[in-house]
Chains A and B, each alone.
Chain A
Amino acid sequence: MTGRRPTAEIAAAVVLAAAAIAVLPRVLELFALINATVYASMAVLALSLGLVWGFGGILCFGQAAFFGLGGYGYAVAALNVADTTWAVPIALAVPAAAAALLGYVMFYGRISDVYMGVITLTVTLILFNFTNSTAGDQWRIGAAPLGGFNGIPSTPPLNLPGDPGNPLPPERIFAVAVVCLAACYILGKLVLRSRFGRVVVAIRENERRAELLGYDVRRYKLGIFTLGGFMGGLAGLLFANCVFVSPTMFSLFYSGQIIIWVMVGGLGTLAGPIIGAVLLQALTTWAGTLPAVNPSLILGAVLVAAVLALPKGLLPTAAAALRRLRRRDAAP
């Protein structure tokens, strides 16, 4: 999928994003629009893991950690400085730095696959437990109470850069989220086209061979992992703008969901995780409205079915089917 017609794919992303910004706020009601913003933030989150796992070959069980750190970083900074122009870089720097630190420990410690999964999971759990226990007045950072289990409900929305008196309405926040999603997709495409991205993919294909060819595997893995952490943080920032931050952002359920999105959408693609996130998020929301069925049951069944029947995910399977059809048409 990579390398072929990247310019066309980037153009398609720009057109789709522009169309979404132009059309959706006119046709959707406010509630649905805010929901669409949540979907966009989830798609950014799925994209971040799609990059780290699908191209870097690093299965991170704790992508939710960066999601939560981005959200908390934004909420705490925004409550402290009033002008969210300065909260945004902080919210992006915190998860990226956390990813860099965690990645340094893991990759330079030469920790193998399964153990990496455990460590990322453990870090997420520590954050979950810690934020859950921060109820009460002694737990505050500057002017921002951490709020324990209840999170920070009073997160201020983004404002126009440099103009704190002018918070963005939900329509604008939606536009920001869609732009961020498209930008992350394009950034992913560009990174994968670069020399750095090619080496990352080479390492996924055969780590030892890449190492024998003289590449410092640890550095490249650290690079892609940090980029993933940055995108995860961006997703958290967007999420904080349309819902609010709470310890559930760090929960095992979120970490699991992200993996499911990527898996169902298609590992090793960038559009797949986005599609997976939107489809499954819609499925969970729809299942939540059914009185008799529990959404967890449906999500679980989808995951088991996906692993057994579609181990490559929706997008690659569909693409392969399309190619087969074309070949059959071309044959006679």
Chain B
Amino acid sequence: MDLAVAVALQVLTGIATLLIISLGLAVIFGMMRVINLAHGEFLMLGAYAAILSARAGLNIWLAMLVVAPLAVGAIGVAVERLVIRRLYGRMLDTMLATWGLSLGFIGAVTMIFGNTVAGFSAPLGSVAIGGYRSSGYGLFLIGAACVLIAGVWAVLRFTPAGLIARGTMQNPEMAAALGVSPSRVYAIAFAVGAALSGLAGALIAPFSGVVPTMGTVYIAKAFITVITGGAAMLAGTLSASGLLGTVATLGTFATTPVLGEVAMLAVAIVLLRLLPEGITGRFFRRSL
């Protein structure tokens, strides 16, 4: 029984991590069909923002939950203005340009901070479940994932800004005809996506370690989760990270972390073969 609870917690933590690292990419992909391959580096920059401000004496929670998203959101604004804006509608070119940005960020950060692993230990100690111990930070991540997805859903569903965002997502020309500026909506959406990525980077930093190349570990996972999820950004990300996170964690538990990841990728391939439009191309089509 205790083992079952411990494994279930582990699975939930895996799902939550996948959800957290994918959400920023999903918002950007869902809103404007841009696949941001610099997403991994947004995570990395968020982690650096958190660690640097924590070292400068800021409260660790403040550094993770406030400074990281703000800093990366600002970078997101700059990236959108300078690069992405010129390439809307050209999906492949955006992918290539953001890949270039990703390499550039890795290079720049390596030059400034060096190629060494920094890190901070997970706050919140550990929790006992019967004879097993689970990290309190894992529980916090599960909570954070729930808050994030509920927050994005609530903003999209209930606020005027969310209404404008959904309208622009469905039909940019019509939105423009009704007096909304799609390019402003896109700029804001990109900044929000970047901020979410920065937050995600700060949240995963305690257990991933902070290196300039840390993004490359996560970009593929996030990319695959979002694409497997399909067009609906929240339902897709939620269902895909639920499925893939479960497979990866159980696979890891049964064999090794590497084989767990291989199992997850294999499931993603089979899934895309069966559902070429992603999960929400077939199920939950009308959801957000």
Contacts and interface: CB of A to CB of B under 8 A. Distances in A.
Main secondary structure of the interface of B (DSSP, over half): helix
Contacts of B93: 307, 311
A129 B262 contact: yes
Contacts of A300: 99-107
A114 B220 CA distance: 13
Q: How large is the interface on B (under 10, 10 to 19, 20 to 34, 35 or more residues)?
A: 35 or more
Interface string A91-118: 0000000000000010001111111011
A126 B261 CA distance: 8
A307 B87 CA distance: 9
**What band does the interface of chain A fall in when counting residues whose beta carbon is under 8 Å from B?**
35 or more
B273 A114 contact: no
B62 interface: no
A256 B215 CA distance: 15
Contact of A297 (B97, B108, B216): B108
Nearest to A255: B99
Contact of B101 (A117, A119, A304): A304
B266 interface: yes
Contacts of A114: 35, 91, 227
Interface stretch (A10-18, A75-83, A288-296): A288-296
B258 A304 contact: no
Contacts, number: 123
Given A115-B227, A304-B101, A297 B111 contact: yes
B97 A304 contact: yes
Contacts of B74: none
Most buried by A among B93, B99, B258: B99
Of the listed residues A111, A303, A306, A307, the one surrounded by the most CB atoms of chain B closer than 10 A to its CB is A307
A117 B219 CA distance: 14
B223 interface: yes
Secondary structure of the A contact surface, majority rule: helix
Contact of A294 (B87, B91, B95, B108): B108
B265 interface: yes
A226 B228 CA distance: 25
Contacts of B216: 252-253
A295 B99 contact: no
A47 interface: no
B107 A125 contact: no
Nearest to A118: B227
A211 B87 CA distance: 30
B133 interface: no
B272 A308 contact: no
Interface string B71-105: 00000000000010011000111011101111111
Contacts of A260: 96, 99-100
B259 interface: yes
Contacts of B103: 256, 296-297, 299-300, 303
A133 B256 contact: yes
B224 A308 contact: no
Contact of A256 (B99, B261, B262): B99
B211 to A, nearest CB: 13
Contacts of B268: 118, 122
B111 A294 contact: yes
Interface in B224-243: 224, 227-228
A222 interface: no
Contacts of B224: 118, 121-122
Given A125-B220, A301-B100, 7 more contacts: A110-B276, A126-B266, A259-B96, A297-B107, A300-B106, A306-B100, A311-B93
Interface of B: 35, 83, 86-87, 91-93, 95-97, 99-108, 110-111, 216, 219-220, 223-224, 227-228, 256, 258-259, 261-262, 265-266, 268-269, 272-273, 276, 278
The 10 closest A-B pairs by CB, nearest first: A297-B107, A303-B100, A300-B104, A300-B103, A296-B107, A294-B107, A304-B100, A133-B258, A307-B97, A300-B100
